[in-house]
Amino acid sequence: MWEFFTTSLVFMLAPMFWSAIHVGAVTWDAFNHHIYLGRQAIEGSRLSYDYFATGSMSCQYPLGYAPLVWMLDNGWPGKYIFQVLAFLAALSAPASWLIMWSVVPGRTASAAMIRIAATALAMSGVLWWKLQGQTSNDALSMSLEIWAVALAMLCVEGQNEKKTRWQFIFCAVAGSLAGLGFVIKLSQFIGIAAVACIILFINGKWAYRFQLLSIFGLSALITFAIMGGAWAIASWDACGSPIYPFMVDYFRNLSMPWRM
């Protein structure tokens, strides 16, 4: 366990330290729609009142920007805000290590070095580090999807009576995290697809695999309905699609159930 906690701590503190030294920049996106959307996440949708106040970005799901606006409302200094955002992004570090534990298990020194090196490689991407100085929702949604993948990977290790219970729990939690990541950033549907494919590799009969897959899917769907259902309805009504900007032409041709 020392390896997990040490590796996680190092790679979680590193981006926070980086953000403390190199204070993030407030980009055009922050002025254009990050604050506007975060305000709606806290106070409610304004899609029926404002006419594309921030252009096509007005219809993005706003939940991922709520922490930013909440901290601004409470008078947090910018350097602390960026450190908190960096911490939320760095939550992917322990998940990355867990993925490697599933791929390279064992307590040998060579296995530990491989896991640590792979985690370092996962956390060293140029794009990931550039996100540390921004207020976008990409890093947070990515962390949630990586955790969903990590929990799904833990399910693949095998099946016996004791592990079966944990497989159900892991799949349910993975579904909730994947669904939440999807609400924050719709393009993270790739994470949901990845977890679904991973679950199909679990040892056991196909009926059992589909049972776990159903638990994952239902958990993701419930999370989406709770956290993003109201916005989906508002977006469909005002922007033409509940998953705007995707499938606009399709949903425009459908009658909205609440208007029938």
User: Which range scores top for mean pLDDT: 11-15, 28-32, 138-142, 178-182?
Assistant: 178-182
214-260 pLDDT, tens per residue?
999 999 999 999 998 888 888 888 888 888 877 777 776 665 554 44
192-220 pLDDT, tens per residue?
998 888 888 777 778 888 888 899 999 99
Question: Mean pLDDT across the stretch 81-97?
Answer: 86
Q: In Å, how far are 20, 50, 73, 207 from 38, measured between CA atoms?
A: 23, 15, 11, 42
Percent of the chain with pLDDT over 70: 87
For 20-25, the CB contacts below 8 A with 24+ separation are 20/79, 20/83, 22/133, 23/78, 23/79, 23/82, 23/133, 24/78, 24/82, 24/85, 24/132, 24/133, 24/134, 24/135, 25/133, 25/134
For the cut 50, the answer to whether the pLDDT of residue 13 exceeds it is: yes
Whole-structure pTM value? 0.84
For the cut 70, the answer to whether the pLDDT of residue 133 exceeds it is: no
Q: In Å, how far are 18, 86, 97 from 131, measured between CA atoms?
A: 12, 8, 20
pLDDT at 16: 76
